[in-house]
């Protein structure tokens, strides 16, 4: 049962990454939080873009991919009005889509420096 759940979570991470790549998200990073005590979820998937229009397009693409591929939708979504930082909470996986300066400011990778951080390249 636990292995099946783990595979579902990994599939969700993969589909979120694909949704980000579809709209040319930059600097896609997966942070594996499973070994971190008191982590809020299993994975963060982070990316950035250079405009609020692209941030919204990436969020829409992630939403479309997860729904069409897995029949899954975000439990909670926020930040779409300003589109400087859209957070999409899938319970076990949280997607963060930033405008570039906002991502630089919050530096989530530094906050979770003890976690395994995976940089996604175009060949993922």
Q: Which two structure tokens, joined as six digits, stand for 14?
A: 């993969």
Q: How many helices (H) and strands (E) does the chain have?
A: 4, 6
Res 1: pLDDT = 54
Full-model pTM: 0.93
Q: Is the pLDDT of residue 67 over 50?
A: yes
Element (H, E) at 62: helix 52-70
Query: Looking at the 3D structure of the chain, how many domains does it have?
Result: 1
**Average pLDDT value for residue range 9-14:** 97
Q: Is the pLDDT of residue 46 over 60?
A: yes
**Residue range(s) defining the domain that contains residue 92:** 2-119
Question: Per the domain annotation, does 124 fall within a domain?
Answer: no
Per the listing, tokens 């993922």 go with 124
Mean per-residue pLDDT of the chain: 94
Tell me the backbone φ, ψ of residue 73, rounded to 5 degrees: -135, 160
pLDDT (tens digit, 9 = 90+) per residue, 52-63? 999 999 999 999
Domain CATH code at residue 88? 3.30.460.10
């Amino acid at each position: 049962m636990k292995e099946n759940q783990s595979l579902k979570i990994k599939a969700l991470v993969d589909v979120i990454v694909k949704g980000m790549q579809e709209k040319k998200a930059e600097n896609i990073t997966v942070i594996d939080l499973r070994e971190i005590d008191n982590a809020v979820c299993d994975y963060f998937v982070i990316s950035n873009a250079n405009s609020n229009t692209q941030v919204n397009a990436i969020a829409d693409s992630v939403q479309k991919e997860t729904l069409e591929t897995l029949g899954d939708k975000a439990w909670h979504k926020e930040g779409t009005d300003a589109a400087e930082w859209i957070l999409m909470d899938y319970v076990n996986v949280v997607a963060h889509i930033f405008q570039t300066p906002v991502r630089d400011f919050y530096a989530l990778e530094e906050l979770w420096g003890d976690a395994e951080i995976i940089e996604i390249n175009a060949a993922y």
